[in-house]
Amino acid sequence: MMRKISLIISLVIFTFANLNAIEISKIEPPSWWIGMNSSTLQLMIYGKDISGANIISENSDIKVVKVHSADSPNYLFVDLILKNKLKAGLYNFKILKGSEEATFKYAFEKRRPNSGLRESFGPQDIVYLLMPDRFSNGDTTNDNSPDADEKSQISNPYGRHGGDIKGMINSLDYLKDLGITAVWSTPLLFDNEPKASYHGYACADYYKIDPRYGDNNLYKKFVAEAKLRGIKIIMDMVPNHSALSHWWMNDLPFNDWINKFSQYTQSNFAMSTHADIHASESDRERCVTGWFDTSMPDMNLKNPFLNRYFSQNAIWWVEWADLSGIRVDTYPYSEKSAIANWVNNILNEYPKLNIVGECWFSSPQEVAYWEGAAMNKDGYSSRLTSVMDFPLQEAINTAFTQGSQPGWGEGMHKIYRSLSLDYIYENPYNILIFADNHDTHRISETLKGDVSKMKMIFTFLSTMRGTPQIYYGTELMLKTPDGKLGHGEERMDMPFLNGISPGQKEVYEFARKVFNWRKDTKAIHSGKLVHYWPYNNLYVYFRQLNTETVMVVINNNVKQLTIDWKRYSESIYGYKTGMEVISGKTISTDKELDIQPQTSYIIHFNR
């Protein structure tokens, strides 16, 4: 359907150009749907000297409320009201300016059943984060594109390596077998920077999949194929900044579309200024208006037309591709009320959608400020349904590298103390937990390839409160061959199961077993967490839901330790036996249990 619509629009525009009539180059969003919760829609129309033109709907069920001119003479913003009686189909609009007249067609489609109440990802899932350029090359013919400046450079750690959507589709069975139930891909939209464009965070077109990955229809197929395998798809969205290569940078709609300075001004990255009652206004302003990078212009979401543009763009992708969630990049670098309005607009259409924000702070207090349900003293709500638990990520990395017999407050105490601050969150059970991601060092590098520690971390991520996220290749302990650290070096190509070492295979099989067990274990998805002070670097905690209890034991000591069942009696609830998930052995609470050094046990009790 969408391909036909695109062809119709392009043919109409081509006709306009040849008749020397009004020229239209772009209409965004490129299509819309009937039956949305909001009956309003704002079209951004781009064409030569169209400022001051009038737009007329040729259908009485589509009302043109207002036509806004912009600072540039080449834009119109058209406010529409869609009546409930409107049917799906292609509709004609007239654009009039003086003696000039033209017609364009616009498509309204029928929504999927219950689209507005779609279920999202959450603690019942394991999220797999992948970087498409480095994951799997399923189609070598699109490694380079005439539309893209940067060409394939497989030997360059900061170049394009050829991974694409076809490769992602081909890998879905691998992910399903691993036990993955949701996939978050770093951005797939067109990034046309001349170098290091593989990361995708400098968008050149918000309605176009990068041609080196495929096209919009192939992305839609990827989402559909994933759903057939019980895998949800989360889209990475970046409303904070676009790219110098974005088409509108040559002709901005409004002078304040982006934040401008007399000379290049980078953000001070002082995100704490949002909540800091002592912060200077100049520091706060510099954080949200400074550019993220030299190639990433900072978007001014306080401009109501831009905010509406990004809101509709997010809704368009959710509806068109049938997404199950959103991850928002660099959330606190936007003006906080404006970005909250963006989230609110999305949730008005999809009240059950999980939207997780990247709020990179080292303390739970700072992260919790951005949790949408937080009762902040200044009255602010981000509206985010979830945040990323960076404090716990840092605690994980520290806890498993401080030696096996750490001092007071070190080792597993780091994890315990981080979790002991969960009272600061309104819902700690819905936040995203992880040991590494595309912006951190790989946990495999941090652990220096220690298989035992990696298995303990997978035990922890699979059983702890929150939604676990696994970075691609971590299940294989993927690490640089020469120990070099850096974004390009550590974002290496995914080997899958080809030529991996026995240690990597051991970690993979361990992760696979635990991830698949987790799928149907309700106590892990929504059970209460009770944890115990980690004496001797032994960390024990329970997940409890009705008649089901899971006991997790992590012995990060170099010595064998013995479980004192009496110490945990309040959480055992009279259980006599349980199954140890990894070994399949029956564990009796009447018998002494020795825990080998550098190992973990998951004991599943069920009445």
How far, in Å, CA of 514 to CA of 502, rounded? 19
Residues forming beta bridges with residue 355, ordered by sequence position: 326
Which of the following is catalytic: 236, 335, 349, 358? 358
How far, in Å, CA of 524 to CA of 427, rounded? 15
Q: At what angle do helices 502-518 and 451-463 cross, to 10 degrees?
A: 10
For tokens 């993955």, the residue is: 180
513: its two tokens: 């077993």
What's 494's DSSP letter? Answer: P
CA-angle at 45, arms to 41 and 50, nearest 5°: 130
87: its two tokens: 């049917």
| pLDDT tens-digit readout, 270-316 | 999 999 999 999 999 999 999 999 999 999 999 999 999 999 999 99
484: its two tokens: 């070099």
For the chain, how many residues are written?
Answer: 607
Q: Which residues contact 578 (CB under 8 A, 6 or more apart)?
A: 549, 551, 586, 587, 589, 603, 604, 605, 606
| pLDDT tens-digit readout, 542-553 | 999 999 999 999
Which residue in 354, 351, 418, 422 sits closest to 391, CA to CA? 418
Q: Which residues contact 466 (CB under 8 A, 6 or more apart)?
A: 123, 389, 392, 428, 429, 430, 431, 432, 433
How far, in Å, CA of 37 to CA of 116, rounded? 8
- This prediction's pTM: 0.95
Asked if 158 and 198 touch (Cβ cutoff 8 Å), the reply is yes
For tokens 């700690």, the residue is: 428
Active site residue 329: yes
Which residue in 165, 260, 176, 265 sits closest to 220, CA to CA? 165
Positive/negative CA dihedral, 241, 199, 30, 104: positive
CA-angle at 455, arms to 453 and 456, nearest 5°: 65
Predicted pLDDT of residue 34:
98
504: its two tokens: 């990597």
How far, in Å, CA of 554 to CA of 457, rounded? 9
For β-strands 577-580 and 100-109, DSSP reports them as: unpaired
471: its two tokens: 């970075």
Ordered domains of the chain (ranges, CATH): 2-111 (2.60.40.10), 121-390+430-519 (3.20.20.80), 526-606 (2.60.40.1180)
Which of the following is catalytic: 329, 366, 371, 445? 329
Q: Which residues contact 174 (CB under 8 A, 6 or more apart)?
A: 496
Predicted pLDDT of residue 103:
93
Predicted pLDDT of residue 404:
63
Per DSSP, the three-state class of 141 is helix
Spans of the chain, pLDDT less than 70: 1-20, 404
Positive/negative CA dihedral, 395, 396, 402, 406: positive
Q: Which residues contact 228 (CB under 8 A, 6 or more apart)?
A: none
CA-angle at 191, arms to 190 and 193, nearest 5°: 145
Which residue in 386, 259, 262 sits closest to 328, CA to CA? 386
How far, in Å, CA of 351 to CA of 477, rounded? 37
